[in-house]
Amino acid sequence: MNLQQKFQQEQFNRKYAECKDGFISYTIYDDRSLYIYEIYVRPEARRKGIGSLLEKELIKKERPSVIYCDVDLTCNKPEEALQGILTAGYKIQTVSDRNIILCKKISTTDSTKKTQG
């Protein structure tokens, strides 16, 4: 774990799901909701399903009932981030001048399949 991850964990109770090509930083709450703060996949590994794989592992591990995330409209290429998130089954919940908050409900049968498979 690098210093940035230690800081995020200490200050904000964030956790990480990682593989050699990327990571997701997130927080799981007592009500089984999960918020993804960052997802990153190395440029040379993009469009190969790494983000989906990390999300599946996260669902299997944490068993959330719902996942929230956002797209910061001030980042580089927010349209690409939004497109990827929408393709993954998230729905737009809130839009502001600065960001778009999205939500994906996880059915219990989906969580059960992921833990059994």
Total residue count of the chain as it appears in this document: 117
Q: What residues does each domain of the chain span?
A: 3-116
Q: What does the block give as tokens for 86?
A: 């929408």
Q: What is the average pLDDT value for the chain, to the nearest integer?
A: 91
pLDDT in tens, 18-65: 999 999 999 999 999 999 999 999 999 998 999 999 999 999 999 999
Distance separating alpha carbons of residues 110 and 116, to the nearest angstrom? 10
At residue 35, what are phi and psi to the nearest 5 degrees? -120, 120
Split at pLDDT 50, 70, 90, the class of 112 is very low
CATH superfamily label, 3-116: Gcn5-related N-acetyltransferase (GNAT) (3.40.630.30)
For the beta carbon of residue 30, count every other beta carbon within 10 angstroms: 5
Q: What does the block give as tokens for 61?
A: 């591990």
Q: What is the pTM of this model?
A: 0.85
Cβ atoms 34, 63 nearer than 8 A:
no
